[in-house]
Amino acid sequence: MAVECVLATSRQNNRIASHRKRITKRQGKMKGRIASAHLLITIAYNILKTGEPYHELGSNYLEEKQMNKELKMIEYLKKKGYTIAPSEQQTA
């Protein structure tokens, strides 16, 4: 049933659909569906446990989180006295 709910979100622009697409690229259709169903069940569990309503984090939540993490690292290094210069080439 959870997998069917995940498939219903496939055309939407939300966290669950982007999670399924990201996992599917690396591991295939079925693992992507099952992993997203697990995410959906985890969200439902936390809603029932805390009683708070669900707040959609958005489809680009992980990219924003990664960008914030990089900015926090740069600020930390600046506080320690290092100078940070942006490089022209992209790193993996």
Question: pLDDT of 39-82, one tens digit each?
Answer: 999 999 999 999 999 888 777 777 788 788 888 888 898 899 98
| Sign of the alpha-carbon dihedral angle for 88, 18, 39, 52 | positive
pLDDT, tens digit (0-9, with 9 covering 90-100), for 9-20: 888 888 888 889
CA-wise closest residue to 44 among 73, 8, 2:
2
Residue pointed to by tokens 């805390």: 50
Q: What is the pLDDT of residue 89?
A: 62
Residue 83 has pLDDT above 80, yes or no: yes
* Nearest alpha carbon to residue 71 among 86, 91, 56: 86
**Does the pTM of the predicted model rise above 0.85?**
no
